[in-house]
Amino acid sequence: MTGAGRGIGAAVARRIAAAGHAVALSARTEAELASVAGTVPGEPLVLPADVTDPGAADALCSAVERAWGPVEVLVLAAGAGVASPLADTSDADWQRMLELNLTAPFRLLRRAVPAMVDAGWGRIVAIASVAARRGEPLVAAYSASKHGLLGLVRSAAAELAGTGVTVNAVCPGYVDTPMTDATVAAIAARTGRTPQQARAALERRQPIGRLITADEVADAVLLCVGSAAITGQGIEVDGGAVQA
């Protein structure tokens, strides 16, 4: 799985491993991966990589195949966000969001699918966002990339229906992770609020009145892995913010 160095990815890795799957952990920072690996049951593979590298998908899948055989469960959790007014969003920011949040998952999905189809079984789960389900101000590049990711999931699920391979997205709201910490800091810097006030504002965006936990997102991922009847879905884990 990608994005396994912290936050949602690390939580999902632990839950997938606890459910009995051998887990390959990938992220850019080897030290973070080593720390997570120490909390994961079994003997995970640690595979540092920048998933935006065009060769990363083949390198990661090939490493898993050499160790264990074809990838059976692919969790696409690597991602990042950027916030700025539309008119101030640079080409570089736009391209970075598309490369990390959409193109990298596409390459990994494309590489893993043939072996899953041959085996007659596979599970693919992408971590999207509520920003894949509705427009939000100041995050045009991020929202576009996540809308695209949900479209990729739906198209792949429709194409693979009947093969034994399911493809789903989990769409969290604001999760208590380092990524949200960065969002809080950006809001505080932009608005003059204290970090505590900025965090409280994000909590109020969700009807349950708090941030989502990474483990709650992992619950939805495990549901997708366990079910053959759930495919083509964008599952909200957002405290009721988007009623889909």
Mean pLDDT computed over every residue of the chain: 96
Q: What is the pLDDT of residues 95-152, one digit of tens each?
A: 999 999 999 999 999 999 999 999 999 999 999 999 999 998 999 999 999 999 999 9
Question: What's the CATH code of the domain at 99?
Answer: 3.40.50.720
What is the C-alpha to C-alpha distance for residues 76 and 74, in angstroms, rounded to an integer?
6
Q: What is the residue range of 63's domain?
A: 7-173+213-237
pLDDT attached to residue 211: 95
In a domain, 154, yes or no: yes
Give the model confidence (pLDDT) of 201-230 as tens digits.
999 999 999 999 999 999 999 999 999 999
Structural domain contains residue 90: yes
Residue 196 lies in a domain: no
- Residue pair 77/127 in contact by the 8 Å Cβ criterion: yes
- This prediction has a pTM of 0.94
pLDDT band per the 50, 70, 90 thresholds, residue 25:
very high
Q: Which pLDDT score is estimated for 190? A: 86
186 pLDDT tier (thresholds 50, 70, 90): confident
> Could you report the per-residue pLDDT of 142-183, keeping only the tens digit for each?
999 999 999 999 999 999 999 999 999 999 999 998 888 888
The answer, yes or no, to whether residue 244 has pLDDT greater than 80, is: no
Number of domains in the chain: 1
pLDDT at position 136 is 87
Share of the chain above pLDDT 70, in %: 100
pLDDT at 103: 98
The residues that are catalytic are 142
Is residue 183 one of the residues assigned to a domain?
Answer: no
Q: Tell me, yes or no, whether 184 lies in a domain.
A: no
Is 186 part of any domain?
A: no
Does 243 fall in a domain? no
Between 58-67, 78-87, 107-116, the lowest mean confidence (pLDDT) is in 78-87
CA distance linking residue 171 with residue 87, whole number of Å: 27
Read off the pLDDT band of 68 (50, 70, 90): very high
Whether residue 200 is contained in a domain is answered as no
